Amino acid sequence: MSASDHRHNETLERLLGPTGFEVTCEQCFELLDQYVELELAGADADAHLPGLRAHLEGCPACREDHDSLRALVAAADA
């Protein structure tokens, strides 16, 4: 695959969004505490809750909630 083809595929992936299981913002909000706990425990949160990472990468509002919750839980565990 040429560099041009690779860039074209990356552009299409960004435009079309995730191809796997899709999570809504409502589902993300419901699962976020579990996801953060798995992350902080060193577990494979993406395997346990498929689609959530892709949603967080594409949704600034949910990513902000994730980052805030992760920082809060990490500080409480310290």
The per-residue pLDDT for range 17-64, each reduced to its tens digit, is: 555 668 899 999 999 999 999 999 999 999 999 999 999 999 999 999
**Amino acid, res. 33:** D
Say whether pLDDT at 16 is over 80.
no
Q: Domain of 62?
A: 21-77
This model's pTM is above 0.85: no
Q: Does residue 15 belong to any structural domain of this protein?
A: no
pLDDT interval class at 69 (50, 70, 90)? very high
Q: Does residue 5 belong to any structural domain of this protein?
A: no
- Around Cβ 68, how many Cβ atoms within 10 Å? 12
68: CB partners within 8 A, 6+ apart: none
- For the chain, what is the domain count? 1
Query: What's the pLDDT at 50?
Result: 92
